Structure 1
Amino acid sequence: MDSNLIDKMKLNLDNNLINKKNKINNQSSLEEVAQEFESLYVFQMLKSARKAKLADDILGNKAFETYQGLLDQEYSKKLAGAQNFGIAEALLRQFGKGKITK
């Protein structure tokens, strides 16, 4: 075989591998962003539920509200990861391929 042809084949193979690696990285990045968006959505749901309370808590000060907000953020991350709300998978269907791989 011609050495030039072999070099072209190697270059083509390298380009294919790079493209495949980029697709994998893009897919995993998309999965991460979709999960984060779902977590943010759940956080907003929790935040709205807290605002709908009928009476003020005894501990209704700014420090407690900050703590409650941080706690809600952590709850939302756990809930979005554990429950199938379907938001992240809908985003993946819209912008990428397939389902979230855990």
Structure 2
Amino acid sequence: MSSDLPALILGVLCGTGGTIGYVKTGSVPSLVAGLGVGALYTYSSQRIRNNLPYGIELALLASTVLAGSSVPRAIKTGKPLPQVLSVLAASGLIYYGVKFMQRE
């Protein structure tokens, strides 16, 4: 599997999720956060695919932002959506963390 594919998938999932959150509940923060993190993942995917610098670092940043917003909510509320977002964020952190360490 190419290193850019997980970031692309996470980007699409975040962007779609934020849009669905907005449509269902009218939550502007969900829309902004989903599209923002999704755009960051998608941009990192393009950089990784084109062998440009800082692609993996951007994917790590997007995963950190996603984890920073979802993990506290998952712990506090125990609701499924923050838990799923936390798992996605952890997956991105692990995958791109390993890729970053292998590069060094």
The TM-score normalised by the length of structure 2 is 0.31
Q: Greater RCO between the two (CA within 8 Å, min separation 6)? A: 1
Quick check: which has more Rg, 1 or 2? 1
The TM-score normalised by the length of structure 1 is 0.31
- 1 or 2, which has the higher helix percentage? 2
